[in-house]
Amino acid sequence: MPLPLPNSEDQGARARFCAGLLRTPVCGYPAGMAKPTVGLTGGIASGKSTVAAMFRELRIPTVDADAIAREVVEPGTEGLRAIVEAFGEGVLAPDGTLDRKKLGDIVFRDGQARGRLNAITHPRIAARSAERMQELGRGEAPYLIYEAALLVENDIYRAFDALVVVAADEATQVARLRERDGIDEAAARARIVAQLPLERKIEVADFVVRNDGSVEDTREQVRRTHEALMARFGAGGTER
């Protein structure tokens, strides 16, 4: 279970999360680091990570929000200690790592518990994201990629300089979910239905990458998107 970004109903958590990102190129372009940042999102099992990897092949640095969410609650971190203090040692696996399923069972049926978790994790995710993006922003790439699942749902996409949405047809999503998570078709379709409709994400996208064809077709779309972003931001990434 990836730890959630703030949902649209938790305005305080969303504000704290975005405030943390204001110290990064996502908002404001702090002195010495004028680096545009592109949000990358998509539907469940659409292949966001595949597309992010293709951008990395083009030497565009990427920051993975899900990976950072895991980092900030690794054993020995302040984040994990705070979660244990708030929810008890029952959320730990036998090896001392966070048992995301147990924690998810608690927070996704209890709004107050979810709020406590958000208050612990979101400032840490934002701070770690800021650090990572500042590090990457010192490089020569004209822009950065920030990959996260819920940018549109949480209205955070507006903070980015452009938004890339990865899309796939429902049959492809179902097949990938069944293979990836070992679930049946009904469960896979239920997960898709629980998400914001992909069409809503496409409506606000600057670029759409279809990832339900061949790998080479997806790679070509990423290449064209990259060229368009390069043209938009220029070699120095100066467009605001």
In this prediction, residue 17 carries a pLDDT of 53
Strand partners, 39: 146, 163
Rounded CA gap, 199 and 43, in Å? 9
Which tokens is 229 given?
């972003």
Give the H/E segment covering residue 164. Answer: strand 162-167
Structure tokens at 22: 């204001």
Rounded CA separation 92/102 (Å): 8
Rounded distance between C-alpha atoms, residue 138 and residue 153, angstroms: 30
Q: What is the pTM of this model?
A: 0.79
Using DSSP's 3-state secondary structure scheme, residue 1 falls into: coil
pLDDT for position 21: 57
Q: Are 65 and 146 in contact (CB under 8 A)?
A: yes
Q: Which pLDDT value is given to residue 235?
A: 57
**Residues linked to residue 210 through DSSP beta bridges, in sequence order:** 167
| Sign of the C-alpha dihedral computed for residues 11, 13, 19 and 21 taken in this order | negative
From CA 125, how far away is CA 131, in angstroms rounded?
A: 10
- pLDDT for the residue 99: 94
pLDDT in tens, the chain (240 residues): 444 444 444 455 445 455 455 444 444 333 333 489 999 999 999 999 999 999 999 999 999 998 999 999 999 999 999 999 999 999 999 999 999 889 988 887 788 998 899 899 988 988 898 889 889 988 899 999 999 988 998 888 998 999 999 999 999 999 999 999 898 999 899 889 988 999 999 999 999 999 999 999 999 999 999 999 999 997 544 444
For the chain, how far is it from start to end, CA to CA, in angstroms?
Answer: 35
**According to the model, what pLDDT value does residue 18 have?**
55
Q: Which two tokens stand for residue 204?
A: 């606000």
On whether the CB atoms of residues 228 and 162 are closer than 8 A, the answer is no
